[in-house]
C-alpha cells in the first residue's frame, strides 16, 4: 500500500502571474515574470481544521495563557495562520509580540475622534516590529539548514536579524547599512549581536540592489521583506490588534510605510482572517510616508496610474527613507482593496506629531510619528470620520532615535520650529536653584506637612 502524502498547506505564489513553487525553494521572485512572491495558504483546508471560526478564536484566546513554548509569542500564537507546516521545534522565538495597545484619550479629545489607540511595536525584544517577521524568517532559515542570513536595512531589520541569528548555533548574520543614515542606537544592535556589519556609501535603495545581486551568486539567505516568509510573521500585528479589541476590527489601521512590507503583511493577514470567517470586515488601511520619500502617497494622489519611484531625500524618519519600495505592488493591492489610502507629511508635521504623542507618556520614533501625522491629516480632511475607531501602529521605540528627540526639544533640527519643546534646563548644583524652578503644586511645606 502506498502511504498517503499530505500536501503542504502553504506554497509560494507569484502575485502577478499566479505561478506557484514549493515553500522550501529559496527564491525571491517569480522565474517566469519576475513578479513578487507571496505565501499562499490552503485556506479551505485551514478552515476545516477547526469546527467553526469561533473555535479558531477560542484557540487563540486559550493560548494567551501559554506559560512556555512558541505559543507564548504574539506571532506563534497564530502558528496555523503563519507557517502551519513549520514544526514548532524549528521556531526561534524570544518571544516577540504581545505589545500594548494604548488607548489615547488625549488624541481622541484633540481630534474629536471616537476611539484612538496606539499599537506600540517598539515594545518588541529588539525595540521594533521587525522581530515579528524575523522570528518567521530565521526560524524558516534554521529549518532549511541555512548558515548565513543577510539583509539591507535602514536599521531596524538589521537589529532584528542580528539578534535572532545570534540565537542559532552555526548561523551567521550579514547586514548591509547605508553609511550615516542609521541611528547610533540602531547601529549598536548588529555590532553587539556579532553580525558582520557593513556600512556602504549609498542609500537603502542602493544597499538592497547590491545585496540582491550578491544573493544571486552566493548561498546567502536574504531576509528583507522581499522574502515572503518574513511577511507571514509580520501579519500577526493585525491579528493581535483584532484579538485585543475582542475580535471587533477597528475602522482604520494607520501604518508608516518604507519598503511597504509591513502594510502588505497586515492587509494580507486580515483578508485571510476574513476568508476564514474570524472577522467580518477588513479595516481600511492608511499608509503614511515622509514627504521626501513618498512614492506611494504620490501614486495614490495620481490614482495609481503608474508605478512611482523617487530618489529618497533626507528625513527625520530615516527608517522609512526609501524611494523604490520592494513590496510596492502588494501594498497598493491591499490598501486599495481595503478602501484605504496613502498620505504624506512634512518634517515639521512629523516632529510635532511625535512630540504630541511622546508627551502623553507613549514614547514613539519619528517613523511612527509619520503615521500619527497622517492620522491627524486624514481626520482634518474628513477621510477618517469622527465616530471611527482608529489604531495607529508605532513601529519602533523612541529610544532608538534619541538624537532626533533631543535635537527637536533643543531646537537643533534645521528648518523645524520646536513648537512643543521641553528644553533641558541647566542649573547650578544647589537645592535653592532647583526649588526656584519647581512646577505649580510644589509650593509650601512637604506632603503630610511635617518637616523632614
Instruction: Give the range of 13-21, 155-163, 297-305, 402-410 binding ligand F0G by CB under 6 A.
Output: 155-163
- What's the CA gap between 359 and 188, in Å, rounded? 27
40, 99, 111, 157: which one binds ligand F0G (CB under 6 A)? 157
Beta carbon of residue 174, minimum distance to ligand F0G (angstroms, whole number) = 14
CB 105 within 8 A of CB 162: no
Beta carbon of residue 153, minimum distance to ligand F0G (angstroms, whole number) = 3
Using CB under 6 A as the binding rule, whether residue 344 contacts ligand F0G is answered as no
Nearer to ligand F0G, 99 or 225 (CB): 225
In the Cβ-directed half-sphere of 161, how many Cα atoms lie within 13 Å? 31
Instruction: Give the range of 25-33, 253-261, 308-316, 413-421 binding ligand F0G by CB under 6 A.
Output: 253-261
- Measured at the CA of 18, the angle between CA 13 and CA 24, to 5 degrees, comes to 20
Nearer to ligand F0G, 72 or 234 (CB): 234
Beta carbon of residue 425, minimum distance to ligand F0G (angstroms, whole number) = 30
* CA 25 to mean position of chain CA atoms: 26
97, 137, 155, 178: which one binds ligand F0G (CB under 6 A)? 155
- What's the CA gap between 254 and 262, in Å, rounded? 11
Using CB under 6 A as the binding rule, whether residue 396 contacts ligand F0G is answered as yes
Using CB under 6 A as the binding rule, whether residue 367 contacts ligand F0G is answered as yes
Using CB under 6 A as the binding rule, whether residue 373 contacts ligand F0G is answered as no
Buried b / exposed e along 251-277 (16+ C-beta atoms within 10 A): bbbbbbbbbbbbbbbbbbbbbbbeebe
38, 96, 131, 156: which one binds ligand F0G (CB under 6 A)? 156
Site for ligand F0G in 38-77 (CB under 6 A): none
Instruction: Give the range of 36-44, 78-86, 91-99, 260-268 binding ligand F0G by CB under 6 A.
Output: 260-268
CB 239 within 8 A of CB 78: yes
Using CB under 6 A as the binding rule, whether residue 262 contacts ligand F0G is answered as yes
Site for ligand F0G in 304-333 (CB under 6 A): 319-320
Beta carbon of residue 404, minimum distance to ligand F0G (angstroms, whole number) = 12
Residue 221, SS3 per DSSP: strand
Using CB under 6 A as the binding rule, whether residue 163 contacts ligand F0G is answered as no
Using CB under 6 A as the binding rule, whether residue 259 contacts ligand F0G is answered as yes
- What's the CA gap between 448 and 442, in Å, rounded? 13
Beta carbon of residue 60, minimum distance to ligand F0G (angstroms, whole number) = 24
Beta carbon of residue 95, minimum distance to ligand F0G (angstroms, whole number) = 20
CB 405 within 8 A of CB 364: no
Nearer to ligand F0G, 113 or 153 (CB): 153
Beta carbon of residue 438, minimum distance to ligand F0G (angstroms, whole number) = 36
CB 11 within 8 A of CB 22: yes
- What's the CA gap between 91 and 55, in Å, rounded? 24
Q: Is the peptide bond before 95 cis (omega within 30 degrees of 0)?
A: yes
127, 260, 266, 334: which one binds ligand F0G (CB under 6 A)? 260
Site for ligand F0G in 113-152 (CB under 6 A): 128, 130
Q: DSSP for 119-134?
A: EEGGGSTTSBTHHHHH
237, 365, 376, 392: which one binds ligand F0G (CB under 6 A)? 365
State the sign of the Cα–Cα–Cα–Cα dihedral 75, 81, 87, 88.
positive
Beta carbon of residue 398, minimum distance to ligand F0G (angstroms, whole number) = 10
250, 258, 340, 418: which one binds ligand F0G (CB under 6 A)? 258
- What's the CA gap between 142 and 92, in Å, rounded? 8
Site for ligand F0G in 94-113 (CB under 6 A): none
CB 31 within 8 A of CB 11: no
- What's the CA gap between 65 and 386, in Å, rounded? 36
Place of cell 497586515: 266
- Please classify residue 419 by burial: count the beta carbons closer than 10 Å to its beta carbon, then call 0-12 exposed, 13-18 middle and 19+ buried: exposed
Q: Say how many residues touch ligand F0G, by CB under 6 A.
A: 21
**Contacting residues toward ligand F0G, per CB under 6 A:** 128, 130, 153-157, 225, 256-262, 319-320, 365, 367, 395-396
Amino acid at each position: 500500500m502506498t502511504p498517503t502524502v499530505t500536501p503542504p498547506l502553504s506554497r509560494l505564489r507569484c502575485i502577478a502571474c499566479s505561478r506557484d513553487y514549493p515553500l522550501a525553494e529559496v527564491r525571491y521572485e517569480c522565474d517566469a515574470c519576475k513578479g513578487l512572491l507571496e505565501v499562499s495558504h490552503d485556506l479551505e483546508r485551514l478552515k476545516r481544521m477547526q469546527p467553526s471560526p469561533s473555535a479558531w478564536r477560542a484557540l487563540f484566546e486559550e493560548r494567551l495563557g501559554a506559560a512556555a513554548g512558541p505559543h507564548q509569542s504574539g506571532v506563534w500564537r497564530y502558528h496555523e495562520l503563519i507557517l502551519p507546516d513549520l514544526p514548532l521545534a524549528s521556531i526561534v522565538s524570544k518571544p516577540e509580540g504581545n505589545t500594548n495597545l494604548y488607548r489615547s484619550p488625549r488624541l481622541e479629545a484633540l481630534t474629536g475622534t471616537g476611539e484612538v489607540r496606539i499599537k506600540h511595536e517598539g515594545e518588541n525584544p529588539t525595540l521594533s516590529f521587525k522581530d515579528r517577521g524575523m522570528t518567521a524568517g530565521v526560524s524558516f532559515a534554521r529549518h532549511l539548514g541555512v548558515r548565513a542570513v543577510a539583509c539591507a536595512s535602514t536599521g531596524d531589520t538589521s537589529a532584528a536579524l542580528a539578534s535572532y541569528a545570534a540565537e542559532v548555533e552555526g548561523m551567521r548574520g550579514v547586514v548591509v547599512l547605508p553609511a550615516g543614515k542609521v541611528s547610533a542606537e540602531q547601529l549598536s544592535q548588529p555590532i553587539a549581536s556579532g553580525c558582520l556589519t557593513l556600512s556602504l556609501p549609498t542609500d537603502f535603495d542602493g544597499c538592497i540592489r547590491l545585496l540582491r545581486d550578491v544573493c544571486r551568486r552566493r548561498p546567502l539567505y536574504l531576509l528583507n521583506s522581499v522574502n515572503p516568509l518574513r511577511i507571514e510573521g509580520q501579519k500577526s500585528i493585525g491579528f493581535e490588534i483584532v484579538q485585543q479589541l475582542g475580535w471587533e476590527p477597528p475602522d482604520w489601521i494607520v501604518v508608516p510605510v518604507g519598503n511597504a512590507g509591513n502594510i502588505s503583511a497586515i492587509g494580507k493577514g486580515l483578508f485571510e482572517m476574513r476568508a476564514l470567517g474570524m472577522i467580518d470586515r477588513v479595516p481600511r488601511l492608511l499608509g503614511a510616508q515622509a514627504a521626501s520619500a513618498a512614492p506611494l502617497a504620490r501614486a495614490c494622489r495620481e490614482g495609481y496610474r503608474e508605478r512611482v519611484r523617487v530618489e529618497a531625500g533626507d528625513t527625520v524618519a530615516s527608517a522609512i527613507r526609501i524611494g523604490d519600495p520592494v513590496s510596492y505592488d502588494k501594498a497598493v493591492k491591499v490598501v486599495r482593496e481595503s478602501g484605504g489610502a496613502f498620505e504624506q507629511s512634512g518634517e515639521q508635521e512629523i516632529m510635532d506629531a511625535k512630540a504630541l504623542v511622546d508627551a502623553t507618556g507613549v514614547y514613539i520614533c519619528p517613523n511612527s510619528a509619520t503615521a500619527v501625522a497622517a492620522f491627524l491629516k486624514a481626520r482634518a480632511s474628513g477621510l477618517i470620520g469622527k465616530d471611527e475607531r482608529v489604531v495607529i501602529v508605532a513601529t519602533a521605540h523612541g529610544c532608538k532615535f534619541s538624537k532626533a528627540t533631543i535635537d527637536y526639544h533643543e531646537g537643533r533640527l534645521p528648518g523645524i520650529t520646536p513648537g512643543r519643546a521641553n528644553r533641558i534646563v541647566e542649573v547650578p548644583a544647589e537645592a535653592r536653584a532647583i526649588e526656584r524652578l519647581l512646577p505649580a503644586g510644589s509650593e509650601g511645606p512637604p506632603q503630610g506637612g511635617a518637616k523632614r
